[in-house]
Amino acid sequence: MKISDAVERFNQYLLAEKGLSPQTVQDYMDDLKQFFLIFGDMKNDTDDLLGSDLTDFFIKQSADGRKTTTIMRRLSSTRHFYLFLQREGLFNGQFPTIEVPKKSALLPRCLSVEQVEDLLEQPNMEKPSGVRDRAMLEVMYASGLRVSELINLTRGQVNFEKGILTINGKGGKMRQVPIGDFALEYLAKYINEDRNQNPGKKDKHIFLNLRGKPITRQYFFMSIREYALRAGIETDVSPHTLRHSFATHLLENGAELRAVQEMLGHSDIATTQIYTHVSTRRIVSAYDLYTKRK
């Protein structure tokens, strides 16, 4: 079978049978694209595939100086593709044992409450784009949404009366996330004053650029970094930083771990527990500072 046909079948398998989100499936496809790039025209058919290809891919990625996390993810995506082909009777090779350096247990970067407030104040509320960006930042920090969930948010997912967002998360899992009055106020201001005048006002997506198209991940990433610089925040800030900060600040203020897990949409509570370490680290740091001043 041609590689292009095999990749398309894998794409449909991930969407239809595994129930993964379109964004997650696209991530798989991007990793496979990187994999096949190193072989050029050498891999046109599934009969051309070898188990040693994974080792070659690992060596090339390491030589290119890719981060360990990137290499691990791409290897995982490629291995899943090979396992799929094996299940379909299209690959009979053996998988090599690859010693990948262990991923360092990095704690999520978190902003202080004061830094978040400074960040949220940066968009220019005199401009439609500023009103929109302020609404996006407020909603993300008030709900802990993933960036893909934020940019794909539709009007039907927002219940202004109850203060609830209905989110279709990873793997098609639905969850309801409460959102405070403050974020809803900015969201309503954007919708009523600016979005309803937007050329794409009939689009189902809430957040649109000035040409009426849905906001992209790239735009939001760049915007949040620019606003962080304006706020004098020297550490690298991304949309995920707001999600981390949301979770950590909740736990610091007494929220239950299970409730935070549900709000974030984590399937495993172990994923959420890392925020308890962040919270504890911040408390200990404050205690150390206090004792040094005594």
Catalytic positions, please? 146, 170, 240, 243, 266, 275
Q: Compute the residue count for the chain.
A: 294
What is the Cα–Cα distance from 226 to 205, expressed in whole angstroms?
24
Strands (E), the chain: 158-159, 164-168, 174-178
Using alpha carbons only, give the angle 17, 156, 23 rounded to the nearest 5 degrees.
Answer: 35
What is the Cα–Cα distance from 3 to 25, expressed in whole angstroms?
17
Three-class secondary structure assignment of 64-76: CCCCHHHHHHHHH
Q: Which candidate, 259, 252, 250, 246, places its Cα nearest to that of 286? A: 252
